[in-house]
Amino acid sequence: MNNITKHTTNFGTYTLVVGILLIILGIGGFFLPELMSLGVEIFFAWLLIIGGLLWAFHTFQYNAKSVMDWIKPVLLLIPGGLMLVYPLTGVAAIGLLLAVYLLLDAFGSFLLAQTIYPASGWGWMVFNGIMSLVLALLFLTGWPATSLWLVGIYISISLFFDGATLIAISTALRKAHRS
């Protein structure tokens, strides 16, 4: 089985369906960004709680008497619980984390562009850095008030482009397989 056939099999009909569903979810979230933000926040809170419970079970089973081993489960359970009780504060925290991520991404992109200059593609890294910097500043200038809709829009745009990318890859591999 050649490489194209293998990838075409892996990126079959399900990839196309998942791509379409991601686009629909992204469009829905774009028009209802507050709902998308709250959904992401609640999902993240439950991940923290489940992770905290799993760590607590592990600690209880293997080293229940060690106070130090109980720190990690507590550090997961408390923020997760607080995010469920105070969801708007949780969305603001996620907005701040996204701003920090985007700032780091911007500086990383600028450093990579400087490293590869004058090779082809360095300009795209500068462009990526500028876009990340602009997005970070959008998050920071209105924080925490703008987090409720900015987090939802950011996630929605990401889902939309993830879906579009899956559809493009699936289509390209199907065409390559036919030829």
For 10-58, what is each residue's pLDDT tens digit? 666 788 899 999 999 999 999 999 999 999 999 999 999 999 999 999 9
Q: What does the pLDDT look like over 112-166, one tens digit per residue? A: 999 988 888 889 899 989 999 998 998 899 899 999 999 999 999 999 999 998 8
Whether residue 143 contacts residue 99, with contact meaning beta carbons closer than 8 Å, is answered with yes
What pLDDT was estimated at residue 96?
Answer: 94
Angle formed at CA 164 by CA 173 and CA 46, multiple of 5 degrees = 115
Name the residue among 165, 106, 157 with its Cα closest to residue 133: 106
Residues 6+ apart with CB under 8 A from 75: 52
- Strand ranges inside 27-121, DSSP E: none
Q: How many CB atoms lie within 10 A of CB 132?
A: 20
Q: Can you give the pLDDT at residue 5?
A: 58
- From 27, 66, 69, select the one nearest 52 (Cα to Cα): 69
Domain ranges of the chain: 3-178
* Largest Cα span, the chain: 65
Whether residue 99 has pLDDT greater than 90: yes
State the DSSP H helix or E strand holding residue 32, giving kind and residue range, or none if neither.
none
* pTM given for the model: 0.76
